[in-house]
Amino acid sequence: MNNLVKSLRCLLPVIALAMAACSSTSNQIVQADKPAIQVPGSFTNPLFPNGADPWLEYWDGNYYLTTTTWTSELVMRKSPTLEGLADATPVNIWSDTDPKRCCNFWAFEFHRLQGPNGYRWYMMYTAGQDGSLDHQHLNVLESAGDDPMGPYEYKGALMPDVWNIDGNYLVHNNKLYVIYSQWQGDEQLNIIAEMDTPWSLKPGTPHTILTRPELDWEISGRKVTEGAEILQRHGRTFMTYSASFCNTPDYKLGLMELVGDDPLNRQHWKKYPEPVFSRTDTVFGPGHNGFFRSPDGSEEWLVYHGNDSVEHGCSATRSLRAQKFTWNEDGTPNFGTPLTPGVVVSPPSGEDGPLVTRVQGQAYQLINATSELCLDIASDPQDSRALQANCRGNNGRWILDPTTDGYYRLANGESSKFLELANCTATNNARIQEAAWRNNACQQWSLEAGQDGHTQIKNRHTGLALGVAGCSAAANQAVLQQSDSACNQWRLQPMGEVVLLSQQSGKTIAVSSNQAGANVQQAAWTHGDNQRWTFKHTDTGYFQIKPQNAPSLCLATEADAVVPGANLQLADCAAKTAQWRLTPKQGGGVALENRYSRQLINLANCGLAEGTNLAQGPKLENRCQVFHLRQPD
């Protein structure tokens, strides 16, 4: 990240605080277009190093990004700003230890497609065997719901016995196709076939060669065409592809267009004779791209990898880059040239809102420790005030959505608006309300460990906490910003059934059976009741954690042991070690701390393997003790 931008970000709260001290301290409703303290969003390329084969989607208020890992792990980042992806917490959403598909994960692409059970995210990626690149092939995962962060279930391999990489979907005339790359002789080709489901080919479908390296600019180093990507606009379908060997500085983008009605007929495709995106004097080997739109939908952007040196090739030197592109008068895309590193790039249009959007993630009720009432918004549509209300089954639904530097935005799951400090007022008892997202510090919050398992919710702009007016226990009392209050402690109550995904492995916390003494271990998501949990409040900020397949039993340690390494199992809910607290961690995960032993749920040896055991351990502040709550459907 540009050092100047980082410096400005650090100074911003100080400048804003001084400005607010001179402003009015009245607690009046703020208009939607009121100027606010913006969080800088400009960036410079590269966004971050080791970012080969990027795929990026903007969905429901967040950017989601994957890049090649070369490991057995599928890592995703999310952020409400493009610039924020550079520092976003990498979360492992899938890992695999099956020897046939365990290793060398490449080129993840996730697409929202209509599946048998409605719209789902389908993650297509390349994987193979340890120690060799001779068995790379496409695999497909399916999300449980509409959250790109999962959980994901493994659905299958398209062509497990044939070398194939760089899979991409094409939807045309209500039919689904896959475009993939394969070596035939000394040529690497892009090939298309029709699909039966997002994870299987249509029986008997022809496999049509779309691109063959034959032009001078396609054969530098080796004869390569790969990494096909689809771009559709105004009824026209284009396909970019990466040409020449990636180990040379001449890796670049070419362009095809579907000019007929049948994607399986090569004669219905037009190949453009010149490359459309190539090296410069400062950027080498730009390629393996993707496309995304700005938050307001008005701009189209290119994401790609490139190198900073002519000597660099297909290694971890490839870094992530993004830039806006336009369209020529003839309707073809104009990608321009790769931006020189260090040039300041304005953020995609609409990042600063105003934006009203659903946000994906686990829903929580935020319950005041003093009143036992829920943080909510006034029921009058003309009144945006935050207040406390009686907790019901579906009110006060808040998504705790990570932004940057350990902060969160609190997204209202009912109104699709966000909690904010009105007018960025720095005084005590300042008004709290909901509003459209405008990417300012007054709409961001820290979640800090409080007393007895509770959490304090503090504004990023002022550092002051949420509390209840007069510490009243009555419904409809205002929730305000308070510098010192006995009622600024909140319980984070997960709503409904949840899946607990390890940040280290992307696998779920599961139980081996529905009997007392059943072992707790990790397992890939399969929609099982033994992978679904509910959080039942006991007292103060603590919970019993109950599996759906044995709701009368609770997560505890074996024989109520308090020592590090004590095994986790199902036990009677009256057990001493059957209560837990949630401690939010940077990036949206939580640590689960035992009330009795004061130790955390720990993934044994930070393992990725199916069946890796879960025990308790001392606080180590590592990703093997962080878990992400996800919706199972």
For every residue of 378-440, which 3-state class applies, written as one string? CCCCCCCEEEEECCCCCCCCEEEEECCCCCEEEEECCCCCEEEEHHHCCCCCEEEEEECECCE
The CATH number that applies at residue 134 is 2.115.10.20
The CATH number that applies at residue 379 is 2.80.10.50
Rounded mean pLDDT, 65-94: 95
Rounded mean pLDDT, 235-241: 98
Per DSSP, 30 falls in state P
Domain boundary among 312, 345, 378: 345
pLDDT tens digits, one per residue of 562-604:
999 999 999 999 999 999 999 999 999 999 999 999 999 999 9
Is 544 a residue whose pLDDT tops 50? Answer: yes
Looking at the structure of the chain, the number of domains it has is 3
Helix, strand, coil percentages, rounded to 5, for the chain: 10, 45, 50
CA distance linking residue 630 with residue 633, whole number of Å:
9
Binning pLDDT at 50, 70 and 90, where does residue 172 land?
very high
pLDDT tens digits, one per residue of 291-345:
999 999 999 999 999 999 999 999 899 999 999 999 999 999 999 999 999 999 9
Is 9 a residue whose pLDDT tops 90? Answer: no
Instruction: Judge if 489 and 522 occupy the same domain.
Output: no
Helix H or strand E segment including 8: helix 3-21
Tell me whether residue 26 is in a domain: no
Chain-centroid distance of CA 595 in Å reads 30
User: In the predicted model, what is the mean pLDDT of the chain?
Assistant: 93
Instruction: Judge if 143 and 180 occupy the same domain.
Output: yes
- Secondary structure of residue 531 in the 3-state scheme: helix
Tell me whether residue 14 is in a domain: no
Instruction: Judge if 460 and 508 occupy the same domain.
Output: no
Binning pLDDT at 50, 70 and 90, where does residue 38 land?
low
Tell me whether residue 163 is in a domain: yes
Instruction: Judge if 294 and 180 occupy the same domain.
Output: yes
Least confident stretch, 4-13, 190-199, 241-250, 587-596: 4-13
- Residue-wise over 118-141: b if at least 16 C-beta within 10 A, else e? eebbbbbbbbbbeeeeebbbbbbb
Domain boundary among 494, 521, 537: 494
The pLDDT of residue 35: 43
Instruction: Judge if 119 and 215 occupy the same domain.
Output: yes
Instruction: Judge if 468 and 511 occupy the same domain.
Output: no
The DSSP line for 341-354 is TT-EEPPPTTTT--
Instruction: Judge if 261 and 189 occupy the same domain.
Output: yes
Tell me whether residue 354 is in a domain: no
Choose, from 142, 226, 401, 434, the residue flagged as catalytic.
226
Is 19 a residue whose pLDDT tops 70? Answer: no
CA distance linking residue 95 with residue 502, whole number of Å:
10
Is 371 a residue whose pLDDT tops 60? Answer: yes
Q: Which residues contact 525 (CB under 8 A, 6 or more apart)?
A: 144, 150, 151, 152, 153, 499, 501, 507, 508, 531
CA distance linking residue 181 with residue 192, whole number of Å:
9
HSE-up of 399 (CA within 13 Å, CB side)? 23
Instruction: Judge if 235 and 267 occupy the same domain.
Output: yes
Tell me whether residue 28 is in a domain: no
Is 286 a residue whose pLDDT tops 80? Answer: yes
Tell me whether residue 22 is in a domain: no
Domain boundary among 288, 311, 345: 345
Tell me whether residue 41 is in a domain: no
Instruction: Judge if 514 and 588 occupy the same domain.
Output: yes
Percent of the chain with pLDDT over 70: 94
* Contact present, 262 and 268 (Cβ < 8 Å): yes
Active-site annotation holds for 376:
no
Is 131 a residue whose pLDDT tops 90? Answer: no
Instruction: Judge if 486 and 594 occupy the same domain.
Output: no
Instruction: Judge if 323 and 460 occupy the same domain.
Output: no
* Contact present, 529 and 402 (Cβ < 8 Å): no
The pLDDT of residue 485: 86
Instruction: Judge if 289 and 373 occupy the same domain.
Output: no
Parent domain of 523 = 499-630
Among candidate residues 345, 463, 442, the one with its CA nearest the CA of residue 86: 345
Residue type, 21: A
pLDDT tens digits, one per residue of 386-423:
999 999 988 899 999 999 999 999 999 999 999 999 99
Percent of the chain with pLDDT over 90: 91
- Secondary structure of residue 12 in the 3-state scheme: helix
Tell me whether residue 449 is in a domain: yes
410 or 10, which is more confident?
410
Per DSSP, 15 falls in state H
The pLDDT of residue 219: 98
Active-site annotation holds for 351:
no
